[in-house]
Chains A and B, each alone.
Chain A
């Protein structure tokens, strides 16, 4: 489950594609306490996610701890066609990183 990304991307109308993605990540703010120990849970959150269409960066997401656990992202973009590659890669504040890619349906 760690470092998992779920991506759905499909052609909507004309040359526009719609993307929906969930990145599984705790997105800890560093402000919460562990209820059993009283210890502060260290901050652990994605800082940047990059979206690439056929290898070209089309959007960079700068995220902070205010983004919900297991970040959800949906957007649409143009200039797409069925079979195109869509890649999402992220890095977090601890230096962990992951990426995944899909073909546009």
Chain B
């Protein structure tokens, strides 16, 4: 089996991954109708992505933040602390709105895990922001300007010894952890185990075990949700998660400001670190997608958007390693799904440089006529009713916008109706209108 996989082309691997997604393991469909609906929905999305065949209609796949919570009269805090409410609210959303796929319930994340570990990287409902707001990253230089060498030399050790103690209060003693790579022969064993005898280190591990127990509880709910939704006829769109190396450094290591200054003061070190991260990001996406039996790897994009970098800066710092991640995923049969938050108008010609039918691009504020013109022959593109209209517009405005989008961007297939900014407390009637209009008006 393993050998067979190695011998396959990227095309064959993708087909094999899609075949798994179309016949999910361990799922007993609730009824023959549910099974038929599941296959129709997954096939519709697959056809839109592969560009081999026009789907029966435009698929509709809303990208969610905490919308199901607000829709059920609950808060993000409820979602993060009460797994039953989490599962219940997201189920209600799927069954009431009937999108072509859902995105699971892992993104709300379990609050208790963060409390146990004293996670400092994010402001969370009840910890830094009010319960009715979503979690938000606290930007900072969690990796210092002079730590590139340490990071590049051994990222895993840098994370264990330096990064984890900074972002988790309970793991501060991890500064004392040894490097396991030092344990090479008999005389090296005991000296390297001394840190594990230190009470502070042992307490850090106790916290980690406690957090692990909580994560187990949480994943039970997350997994059961996926199985139950599949049984009812709704595929999970997301198989795995990855990031562009530039965003890895810019989001949570050096911070936006830190990295932007590094582009000037130490560009070579920055590029070396980006290259170091690249295979890690490929493995992260591939292993999750294989485990899930679903080729689609979600890659939310942040700091390469229009305005964030000049074209020259994008080509020098952002695109080379991001491109390598995309190709690495494609070669293993995955479908990278970069979600371009903000505008991506100035990048369209650059990102066109990809094999056909292998990437699915989600757009937010990008000019979709231009996107269709430049990318349409090469890749599936996604876009939807803009978040401002969904938030404050009328159902009529939403319907008109969706129809226009289907007429122009949807023409000929290769298009998925999805919004480009995560849905939070938008008007439910508007979400319903976007979904229903696509189903009624988007038939090819």
Query: Are A and B interaction partners?
Result: no
